[in-house]
């Protein structure tokens, strides 16, 4: 028998609770197998809500006792249904005491209180607090928390919770306690505790108003030398938020704690952020430049949540993008500013483009496919079965794009004024996306009603552009039209308010002055057109010659631009577009065209040939020493396979892989001299420092090496080998190992084995080792298939099904990062996928659901693959005890 469908929660069903919590006093008697939690709540009747019972939520709890105003409630006053307890109470103030018992070691879902290595950690967002105690576990219930932690001193020498430490001391029998008080009312999802043997890197800083704050990064003994970069990133984030938004740290103490087992990147618990080790620990020998960037941006993201998320939080989980879209936008701006500051004035524009490119790469690879599949949802969804499934690229990344559009439309100052108003109205409240956008509108005296459609409409809009030049009067008419394809449950779409940043390039490659008919003056450079209807035309006048349009500069809206451009135009923009983002995008479009054409040839059994003109355009950039290396590394890197598959109809992963291999080999071979000389020139002298300029050189140098080893250029294997052996930092080490792995290099296996031995005790580095192999292409028939390799690696001690990072590295790497190997035509990859999803679901539904999502877009593949995937998906769906997480995914994918 199958389990029931999980109930669907509707946004429209939101109701205020009749009783909320004013204060809560928690007492934990910590034990790895049996922790006792006593919660005393002062609950208040909400005068604005309809009369009703006290509602508490609980999940996987052993209830020890429950009293209301000191008495056990009569059984007939309690109604219980799955996970909800409704108690008939009377009075405006009631004291509720609940005692529960939980088993952190048995909690393999890593939600609630769980054990990781020698410590106890919590993860409460979205609904983990109800796995600790019965509570009105909703974000609109904001209470003041006091927390007492009690445990064995030897096992748990460090006891942390939110806010300020107000008392600590010894207890009999080798036990001790600590009492924490958080002065800010907060929703239960921001509660946290840590009890573990840890040590802290500490720093004292002054906030802009002169208050001294204590910053701590807590890590396992022996890892203090990897905590410095996270600390620096935290201080930079503090300064940035003070300078950019006038927002200051509000606590006396701010802690970051590392956990080795963690479902996602990190969590913004008030004053006590808990982080996946991957986003804290970094030292040159073990972390790549990319890891350093990741640490900086995740530390910033969680820090920025203190205002956008914690001080002002979400009324309900449908509003998730209120805090996530906004906070991603803030962390993206922060990273761009950090890169620009490091680059200096002359390099700032290109440095910012590098950041923008990486954001857009992410959006196109993850969010566009999501928005075109069975899980498509607006940034503010209307319904869900499992909220954990809605921490998506749409809510986060498209959500950030929506905020960015507001920033573009209102300007920096206008946006800041809107933010100021938002905090002045809503500090300390749980609010909605409408409240946010209304502040933006009010502060700027504009009407954003039409703009609100971005919050309710799913799917990636297509922006069509057509230009007509009239040589007789020197005018250029640009007609923009929009269309959004239907998505599940939302067939009809309305026109959206789309900012379109435009430039017109003259025949000499320089931007032309832009003057729209009726205007008195021309303006130089880019300007933003606003498309608010299904179609609109803009007539530019006074043009000396036919221009080449450069549209959607800086990716001014999260849309797919449909513009007819021949190869000559693409090459022209690749060489001249003054907007560095669009210059990159021209190269990507050209590559996409070449790759998809070649994949088509391959699928039809014809020979693949790289067009000469493309080679010329590519080479012109490769040898252009005026371009910043970090930027050039982005320009010369191929579009992601995920994005290309999304653009391919039907998606044929094997043909695509063949085309990619062919193109890399062709380019590497044809330009070997250029790759070689750039490789030689780009060497970074001196000891490692994490600096964008050095990182850019290393990135481009590693990319050159990859093209060369792919093409089996004689000296390349030797260079890669030498780099692997002599590198003193992980960026170069890893780059060399990747170049060896992604090729037929004879030293491949030996290098992998040496790396495995050298880093045998280092979980994070071993994750890289797993991921490199999971994502390896098959460069020759003599190499093992991806599936064989992944199966073998599952037996390696470096792997464990219970550690999320390992699952993401090996299984995630294979399912998502290696389509060419995963989508075998015998379907063995899919059978393996189903087995793993089922096995994982029994331990950790959130991790399982992420893996399950790797095949949700199965209907995009070739008919033969579709049939194979469907059968395996049905096998998963037929399992008796699936979590609501995985069930929602497979049922939506199957269209049930
Ligand atoms: N807010 C958390 C994400 C929680 C995910 C819960 N399944 C991290 C972040 O976005 O900063
Ligand atoms: Zn976040």
pLDDT tens digits along 566-592:
999 999 999 999 999 999 999 999 999
Banded model confidence at residue 1, pLDDT cuts 50, 70, 90: very low
Tokens of 730: 């992980």
Looking at the chain, how many residues does it have? 896
Average pLDDT, integer, range 421-442: 99
- CA–centroid distance, residue 752 to ligand 2 (Å): 35
Give the sign of the dihedral formed by CA 710, CA 712, CA 717, CA 718: negative
Ligand 1 atom nearest to CA at 298: 11
The CA–CA distances, whole Å, from 738 to 67, 448, 755, 777 equal: 60, 48, 12, 11
Specify the pLDDT at position 648.
97
Residue 780 has pLDDT above 50, yes or no: yes
Closest CA to 873 of 852, 888, 845, 851: 852
Cα–Cα distance, 877 to 885 (Å, whole number): 12
Cα–Cα distance, 650 to 852 (Å, whole number): 21
DSSP E strand boundaries for 207-350? 212-219, 253-259, 266-267, 272-276, 313-314
For residues 313 and 142, the answer to whether their CB atoms sit within 8 Å is yes
For residues 245 and 416, the answer to whether their CB atoms sit within 8 Å is yes
Tell me the percentage of the chain whose pLDDT exceeds 70.
99
Residue 510 has pLDDT above 70, yes or no: yes
Question: ∠ CA 530-531-534 to the nearest 5 degrees?
Answer: 170
Mutation test of ligand 1: which of 391, 392, 850, 884 has the most ligand atoms closer than 8 Å to its C-beta?
391
For residues 710 and 751, the answer to whether their CB atoms sit within 8 Å is no
Task: Return the number of other C-beta atoms located less than 10 Å from residue 717's C-beta.
Answer: 20
Only one residue has tokens 């709540």, namely 41
In this predicted model, what pLDDT tens digit does every residue of 15-35 receive, in sequence order? 999 999 999 999 999 999 999
List the catalytic residues.
Answer: 302
In this predicted model, what pLDDT tens digit does every residue of 47-65 receive, in sequence order? 999 999 999 999 999 999 9
Mutation test of ligand 1: which of 114, 125, 294, 306 has the most ligand atoms closer than 8 Å to its C-beta?
125
Does residue 317 have its Cβ closer than 6 Å to ligand 1? no
End-to-end CA distance of the chain: 17
Cα–Cα distance, 663 to 670 (Å, whole number): 10
Q: What residues contact residue 893 under an 8 Å CB cut-off, 6+ apart?
A: 373, 374, 375, 855, 856, 858, 873
Taking the mean position of all CA atoms in its chain, how far away is CA 234? 19
Tell me the percentage of the chain whose pLDDT exceeds 90.
99
Specify the pLDDT at position 562.
98
Residue 534 has pLDDT above 70, yes or no: yes
Residue 714 has pLDDT above 90, yes or no: no
Beta strands 462-470 and 560-563, pairing class:
parallel
Specify the pLDDT at position 896.
79
Question: ∠ CA 703-707-709 to the nearest 5 degrees?
Answer: 110
Average pLDDT, integer, range 64-91: 97
Closest CA to 405 of 571, 530, 543, 255: 530
Specify the pLDDT at position 2.
45
Residue 92 has pLDDT above 50, yes or no: yes
Does residue 515 have its Cβ closer than 6 Å to ligand 1? no
Average pLDDT of every residue of the chain: 98
Tokens of 92: 């405006």
In this predicted model, what pLDDT tens digit does every residue of 624-647 receive, in sequence order? 999 999 999 999 999 999 999 999
- CA–centroid distance, residue 266 to ligand 1 (Å): 7
The CA–CA distances, whole Å, from 447 to 411, 433, 441, 442, 591 equal: 15, 15, 6, 8, 40
- CA–centroid distance, residue 742 to ligand 2 (Å): 34
Only one residue has tokens 């290393």, namely 698
What is the three-state SS of 18-55?
CEEEEEEEEEEECCCCCEEEEEEEEEEECCCCCCCCEE
Specify the pLDDT at position 4.
58
- Closest residue by CA, ligand 1 atom 2: 267
DSSP E strand boundaries for 281-332? 313-314
Banded model confidence at residue 806, pLDDT cuts 50, 70, 90: very high
Does residue 301 have its Cβ closer than 6 Å to ligand 1? yes
């Amino acid at each position: 028998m199958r389990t029931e469908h999980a109930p669907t929660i509707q946004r429209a069903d939101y109701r205020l609770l009749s009783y909320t919590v004013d204060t809560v006093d928690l007492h934990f008697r910590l034990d790895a197998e049996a922790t006792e939690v006593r919660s005393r709540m002062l609950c208040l009747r909400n005068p604005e809500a309809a009369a009703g019972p006290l509602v508490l939520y609980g999940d996987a709890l052993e209830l020890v006792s429950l009293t209301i105003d000191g008495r056990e409630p009569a059984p007939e006053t309690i109604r219980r249904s799955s996970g909800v307890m409704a108690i008939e109470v009377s009075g405006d103030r009631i004291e509720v005491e609940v005692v529960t018992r939980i088993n952190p070691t048995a909690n393999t879902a890593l939600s609630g209180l769980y054990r990781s290595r020698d410590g106890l950690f919590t993860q409460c967002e979205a609904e983990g607090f109800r796995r600790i105690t019965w509570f009105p576990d909703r974000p609109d219930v904001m209470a003041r928390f006091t927390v007492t932690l009690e445990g064995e001193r030897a096992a748990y020498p460090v006891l942390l919770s939110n806010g300020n430490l107000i008392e600590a001391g010894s207890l009999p029998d080798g036990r001790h306690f600590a009492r924490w008080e958080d002065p800010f009312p907060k929703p239960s999802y921001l509660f946290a505790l840590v009890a573990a043997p840890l040590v802290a890197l500490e720093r004292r800083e002054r906030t802009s108003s002169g208050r001294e704050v204590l910053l701590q990064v807590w890590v396992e003994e022996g890892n203090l030398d990897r905590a410095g970069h996270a600390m620096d990133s935290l201080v930079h984030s503090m300064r940035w938020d003070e300078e950019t938004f006038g927002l200051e740290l509000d606590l006396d103490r701010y802690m970051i704690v590392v956990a080795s087992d963690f479902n996602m990147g990190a969590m913004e618990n008030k004053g006590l952020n808990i982080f996946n080790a991957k986003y804290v620990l970094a030292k040159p020998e073990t972390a790549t430049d990319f890891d350093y960037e990741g640490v900086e941006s995740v530390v910033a993201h969680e820090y920025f949540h203190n205002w956008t998320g914690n001080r002002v939080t979400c009324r309900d989980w449908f509003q998730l993008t209120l805090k996530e879209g906004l906070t991603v936008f803030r962390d993206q701006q922060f990273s761009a500013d950090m890169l620009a500051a490091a680059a200096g004035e002359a390099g700032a524009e290109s440095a910012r483009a590098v950041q923008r490119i990486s954001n857009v790469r992410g959006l196109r690879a993850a969010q566009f496919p999501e928005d075109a599949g069975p899980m498509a949802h607006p940034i503010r969804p209307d319904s869900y079965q499992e909220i954990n499934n809605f921490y998506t690229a749409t809510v986060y990344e498209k959500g950030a794009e929506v905020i960015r559009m507001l920033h573009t439309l209102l300007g920096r100052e206008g946006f800041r004024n809107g933010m100021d108003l938002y905090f002045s109205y809503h500090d300390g409240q749980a609010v909605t996306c409408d409240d946010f956008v209304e502040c933006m509108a009010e502060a700027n005296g504009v009407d954003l009603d039409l703009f609100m459609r971005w919050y309710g409409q799913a799917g990636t809009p297509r922006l069509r552009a057509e230009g007509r030049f009239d040589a007789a009067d020197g005018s250029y008419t640009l007609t923009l039209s929009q269309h959004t394809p239907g998505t599940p449950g939302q067939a009809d779409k309305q026109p959206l308010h789309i900012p379109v940043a435009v430039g017109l390039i003259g025949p000499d490659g320089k931007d032309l002055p832009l003057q729209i008919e009726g205007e008195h003056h021309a303006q130089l450079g880019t300007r933003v057109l606003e498309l608010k209807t299904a179609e609109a035309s803009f007539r530019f006048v006074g043009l000396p010659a036919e221009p080449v349009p450069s549209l959607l500069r800086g990716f001014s809206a999260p849309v797919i631009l449909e513009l007819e451009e021949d190869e000559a135009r693409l090459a022209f923009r690749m060489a001249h577009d003054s907007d560095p983002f669009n210059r990159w995008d021209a190269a990507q479009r050209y590559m996409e065209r070449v790759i998809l054409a070649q994949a088509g040839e391959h699928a039809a059994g014809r020979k693949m040939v790289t067009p000469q003109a493309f080679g010329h355009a590519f080479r012109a950039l490769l040898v252009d020493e005026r371009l910043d290396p970090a930027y050039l590394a982005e320009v010369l890197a191929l579009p992601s396979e995920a994005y290309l598959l999304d653009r391919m109809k039907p998606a044929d992963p094997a043909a695509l892989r063949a085309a990619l291999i062919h193109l890399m080999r062709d380019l590497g071979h044809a330009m070997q001299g250029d790759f070689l000389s750039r490789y030689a020139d780009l060497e970074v002298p001196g000891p490692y420092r994490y600096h964008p300029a050095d990182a850019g050189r290393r990135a481009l140098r590693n990319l050159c090496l990859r093209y060369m080893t792919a093409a089996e250029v004689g000296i390349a294997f030797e260079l890669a080998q030498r780099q692997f052996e002599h590198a003193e930092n992980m960026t170069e080490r890893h780059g060399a190992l990747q170049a060896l792995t992604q090729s037929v290099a004879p030293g491949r296996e030996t290098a992998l084995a040496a790396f495995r031995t050298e880093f045998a005790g280092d979980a994070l580095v071993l994750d890289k080792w797993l991921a490199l192999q999971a994502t390896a292409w098959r460069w020759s028939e003599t190499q093992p298939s991806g599936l064989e390799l992944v199966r073998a690696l599952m037996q390696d001690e470096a792997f464990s099904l219970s550690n999320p990072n390992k699952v993401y590295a090996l299984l995630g790497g294979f399912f998502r990062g290696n389509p060419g190997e995963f989508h075998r035509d015998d379907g063995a990859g899919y059978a393996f996928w189903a087995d793993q999803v089922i096995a994982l679901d029994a331990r950790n539904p959130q991790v399982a659901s992420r893996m399950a999502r790797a095949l949700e877009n199965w209907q995009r593949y070739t008919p033969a693959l579709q049939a194979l995937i469907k059968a395996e998906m049905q096998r998963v769906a037929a399992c008796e005890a699936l979590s609501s997480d995985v069930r929602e995914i497979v049922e939506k994918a199957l269209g049930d």
